[in-house]
Chains A and B, each alone.
Chain A
Amino acid sequence: MLAEIKNVSKTYETDSNKISVLDDINFSVEDNDFICIVGPSGCGKSTLLRIIVGLEKPTSGEVFFKGEVISSDNPKVAMVFQNFALFPWLTVQENIELVLESKKQGRELEKTACKYIKAVGLDGFEKVYPRELSGGMKQRVGFARALAVEPVLLCMDEPFSSLDALTSQNLKDELLMLWADANMPPDAVIMVTHNVEEAVYMSNRIIILSPRPGKVVADLKIELERPRNRKDPEFYRWVDKVYSLIV
Chain B
Amino acid sequence: MIFPKATISEIIGLLEAVNDAGGVEDAARLAGDFDLELDEILPSIDGAELLGFATVTDGNIELTEDARKLLDAGIRERKKIIRDKVAGVEIIKELKNKFMESDEHRIKKEDALGFLQKNISTTDIESYFKIIINWTRHGGLIGYNSDSEEIYLMPGE
Q: Which residues of A contact B (CB under 8 A)?
A: 118-121, 123-125, 127-129, 131-132, 134, 136-137, 164-171, 173-174, 177-178, 229-231
Contact = CB atoms under 8 A, between A and B. Distances in A.
Contacts of A170: 9-10, 12-13, 16
Contacts of B16: 169-170, 173
B144 A121 contact: no
B75 A165 contact: no
A129 B143 CA distance: 12
Of the four ranges (under 10, 10 to 19, 20 to 34, 35 or more), the interface on chain B belongs to 20 to 34
A132 B10 contact: no
A178 B35 contact: no
B50 interface: no
B142 to A, nearest CB: 10
A132 B14 CA distance: 23
B34 A229 contact: no
Interface string B106-148: 0000000000000000000000001001100110100111100
B9 A165 contact: no
B76 A169 contact: no
A167 B138 contact: no
A177 B73 CA distance: 10
A124 B35 contact: no
A118 B76 contact: yes
Given A124-B138, A132-B144, A174 B75 contact: yes
Contacts of A169: 13-14, 16-17
Nearest to A129: B146
Contacts of B78: 121
20 contacts: A121-B75, A121-B79, A123-B79, A124-B137, A124-B154, A132-B146, A136-B7, A136-B10, A137-B9, A165-B35, A165-B36, A166-B10, A166-B34, A166-B41, A167-B9, A169-B17, A170-B13, A178-B75, A230-B17, A231-B20
Interface in B54-93: 74-76, 78-79
B138 to A, nearest CB: 7
Nearest to A229: B20
Interface string B31-55: 0001110000100100000000000
B76 A121 contact: yes
